[in-house]
Structures are given as structure tokens and as C-alpha cells.
Amino acid sequence: MRLTKLSTLSLLSAAIGLSLASTAQAARPDAPYLSNSEFQQCLDGLKNSSKFRGVDSYTFNNYRPSEPDPSVIQSLNYQPEFQKDIWDYLSVLVDKERVEDGIQAKRQWADTLRSIESRYGVKAEHVLGVWGVESNFGQTLGKKPLFESLATLSCFDRRQSYFQGEYANALKIVQNGDINPSDMTGSWAGAFGQTQFMPSTFLELAVDFDGDGRRDLVNSVPDALASTANFLDKRGYRSGEPWGYEVKLPNGYWAASNRKDKKSISHWRGQGLTLANGSPLPYDLSSAGLLLPAGEDGPAFLVGKNFDTFYSYNASESYALAIAHLSDLITSENSSKTDFVTAWPTNDPGISRQQSKDIQQALSNAGYDIGGVDGIIGDNTRTAIQQYQTSRGIFPADGRAGQNFYRTIVGNGNAVSNSYNNSRPLVPASADRMGQLIQQQTVTPAANTYPSPAQPSSNIRYRRVPTSDGSIRLERID
């Protein structure tokens, strides 16, 4: 639904399973020069166009940007420099911290969620799963001024027609009095509020649930949660059904991953599939498709219609799986184990947001420019990791932040010995049966740290020290 993540995630989905070491080619294009006179001329034309018929001229003029914002065109054409594996994607989105925040939110909003469930038939934890993945339970909303972003995208580059509609819709939202103009900030593409709806989705599906007469998806949690439930309901949610479940395939079973090819549970039972723990498949899904995000050797899932409603939120199977998994963990109130029963086909699993922050802090302490410790492993951090790996002869220098790199640069806190004995020789990555590269270079014991003794001068180690405010400080050990 949202272009913001759509562009990144569709690429991401395409890249799932690939862990090819990428080279550090600069992928972010420079912000283009945009002529302001051309921009103003374009806005004059839009004002009188049919798309803006429902927008009064006071509203149009009052929120008319004085100049375009070239950064959104830069974002529109941005191609991520590094590809991401699904286990990296999920480990950051569904970590202990987010599950705990979700459990707390479930308690805090219990009455509201109960009313929403009885009105829309959507399970509370499914609403919470979307909320957690979309905006980190209302904590992460975009900060870009919406009118500038949408007006710029309406007048330059590809997809102008689409964004003109969204621009007009954003103006209508303010005109209707639903959202304060000052709250109209969001992603570069115009998704905003705790549900990260695009303006057109807002007009179609947002609801006023707290009864103040406004659909305020920025400031009202009841409005945001009910609007999410309304979205799922209108996209075909089936009350009382789970989204699906992790399953175990019989030995030697081969099937393509095809979530859309839905079959009955009897069919899947007949094929020899069971729940991941080995017990028989329950008959609580009217039909289900098989989802194998990383091939037959990784976790396998049977997914029903409700998974498809998560998918319709952002057109990405990884994204939908993050919502599904987060909602299960919030249901079971278990934040200690966020993995699936079957491990991902990697010997270097992904890291949590806290571990991402630890890595960023360590890199920053070591003098690398990572652009800020935010727990998001973006291009800056990955480039820094790649430089770090290159300078220390770590192969492949792929810029990836996984558990191995985490141990390399941060250590595991309780056993940071100065022993180099655990270092194993680095072996080149080899192609697996799918013709893709699986990293094999670092089957290392937990306490292992790089670099090798051959480079003692560049050896920087850190110990994790808990501080009085509960955070972790990294202390350099020489």
C-alpha cells in the first residue's frame, strides 16, 4: 500500500535468499536540481485540474509549498546498495524489545482492543502486529512535511499522476478537519500517522473510534487501531481464523512456495505436513497456501486469508510474515525466543535492534562514520562495516551485520577474553544448491573476536557494561 516501503521491500523480497556480497558502489543518486518556476507553474495547473476539484482554493493556497523538495525525488529513485536476507529483515523487526512493547500495549489498550475486536472481528494481536511493524506502536512516525513531498512528487519524475491524487487527498484530509495541518508529516512518499496510511487509504478506511468526530490517526490510538482493523476487515479478514502457522515438511518433500495456491487442510495433512512441533494440522483455516521464504531448508508456513490481508498492507511477504510472527509472540507473551522452530538456512543469523545499536556504537567508537546510532543498519553502517572488514581481512567484506560480525566487534559481554585461539581460518563462501552464496566464513565460538593476531595494532575490542539507567555502554578493552 505504501510506496515508502514498497520500493525497498519489493527489492528486498526479490533479494530474499541472496547473500551475494555486494560491492560498495554508491547507489544513492544526488538530489536533482528542480526548477522552482517549473514547480510553481505545475502547481498552478494542478489547482485547476479535475483531480483537485474537491479541494477549495483557500486550502490549496494555504498549504501550497513555496519550493519543491528535491530529497523526495532522490528517495523515489533510490536503489538500496546492499541486499538484505529475510532473517536479517525479521530479526530487527521482530525482536525481544518489540514483543515486550507489544505485550505492554496489549495490556494498556485492552478495553479498546476488545471493543475493536467485537466491532470488526479482527483479533487484537493482529491489530497490534500491524501497529508494531508499521510505526513501532506509534513511536516512529515520519517527519517529512507531507504537502511539500506530495507536491514535489506530483510535478517531477515518474508516477506524477499517482502522487497528484494523493496530494489532492492529503489536502482534503486537512480541509475536512480530521488531522491538524501541523501533524501532516510522514514518509517521503506521503504515508503518515500511526497506521502509515497513504491519504487515499485514509479517506477510504480511517475511522473515528474515540468519538470526538475526527479521524485522527496521528494522535488517537483508538482511531489508529480501529482504522487498522477496518483496513484488514475490508481486505477480506476472516474472523476467528489464525493467519496460519509454521509447519514441518515431510522428509524429501518438494514444493514451490506459492501462498496464493490455497488448498484445504485435509489436502496438506494428506501431503504429510504437520505443525512445526510435529502435532497434526488443526482444521481452523478454511484454506491455506504454502510459504517457503528461504526454500525448503528454512522455516515453512501454511498461510490463510488473514495473512493475505497483512500482505495487502504493504505488498511484501516478508513484511506480512513479520506482522504474523510478531502477533503470535504477543499472543503467547513470549519475548525470550523470537526464532521460528526451524532455523533459517544460515550459520550467521540476524541481529536485534539493540545489537544493531551496539555495532553502530562500536563502529563509531572506532572512528567510522555511521551517521548516528539508531539501530537501523542502513547504507552508512553497512559501508562502515565493509570498510572495517576490509581493513581487517575479514572475508567476505559484505557489509552485513549478523551475529558473527556482532561477536567480532562487540564481543558477547561476559566472556571477552583476549584469546585469539578461537579464530578459525576464513574460508571462502561457496555456492549452495540453489546457486546462491551462503556465508560460511565464520563458524566461530561465541567468545571469539576478530581481528586475527596478525594485525594486533588494529585490534579494538569492547566490553558491554550495563549502566545505571539500564542501557549498555561499550567499554574499550586494549
- In whole angstroms, how far apart are CA 141 and each of 23, 123, 169, 204? 32, 24, 19, 21
CB of 193 to Ca ion, least distance (A): 12
- At a CB cut-off of 8 Å and minimum separation 6, what does 8 contact? 80
220 vs 318 by CB, closer to Ca ion: 220
85 vs 223 by CB, closer to Ca ion: 223
3-state SS record for 40-81: HHHHHHHHCCHHHCCCCHHHHHHCCCCCCCHHHHHHHCCCCC
51 vs 214 by CB, closer to Ca ion: 214
CB of 221 to Ca ion, least distance (A): 10
201 vs 220 by CB, closer to Ca ion: 220
CB of 212 to Ca ion, least distance (A): 4
Instruction: Name the residues that contact Ca ion, by CB under 5 A.
Output: 208, 210, 212, 214, 216, 220, 223
SS3 label, residue 130: helix
194 vs 338 by CB, closer to Ca ion: 194
CB of 179 to Ca ion, least distance (A): 10
Distance, in Å, from the CA atom of 177 to the CA atom of 132, rounded to the nearest integer, reads 27
How many Cα atoms within 13 Å fall on the side-chain side of residue 335? Answer: 13
194 vs 404 by CB, closer to Ca ion: 194
- Minimal CB distance residue for Ca ion: 208
Distance, in Å, from the CA atom of 68 to the CA atom of 295, rounded to the nearest integer, reads 45
User: What pairing do the DSSP bridges indicate for beta strands 300-303 and 472-477?
Assistant: unpaired
16 vs 206 by CB, closer to Ca ion: 206
Backbone angles phi and psi of 466, in degrees to 5: -65, 140
Distance, in Å, from the CA atom of 198 to the CA atom of 175, rounded to the nearest integer, reads 16
Helix or strand run (H / E) with residue 134: helix 124-135
Beta bridge partners, 476, equal 462
CB of 272 to Ca ion, least distance (A): 50
CB of 61 to Ca ion, least distance (A): 28
CB of 203 to Ca ion, least distance (A): 15
85 vs 216 by CB, closer to Ca ion: 216
CB of 149 to Ca ion, least distance (A): 25
Interhelix angle 379-391/353-365, rounded to 10 degrees, is 60
Distance, in Å, from the CA atom of 148 to the CA atom of 199, rounded to the nearest integer, reads 14
CB of 176 to Ca ion, least distance (A): 12
Distance, in Å, from the CA atom of 252 to the CA atom of 296, rounded to the nearest integer, reads 9
208 vs 379 by CB, closer to Ca ion: 208
CB of 215 to Ca ion, least distance (A): 6
How many CB atoms are closer than 10 A to CB 174?
21
Distance, in Å, from the CA atom of 173 to the CA atom of 199, rounded to the nearest integer, reads 8
Distance, in Å, from the CA atom of 62 to the CA atom of 229, rounded to the nearest integer, reads 33
99 vs 206 by CB, closer to Ca ion: 206
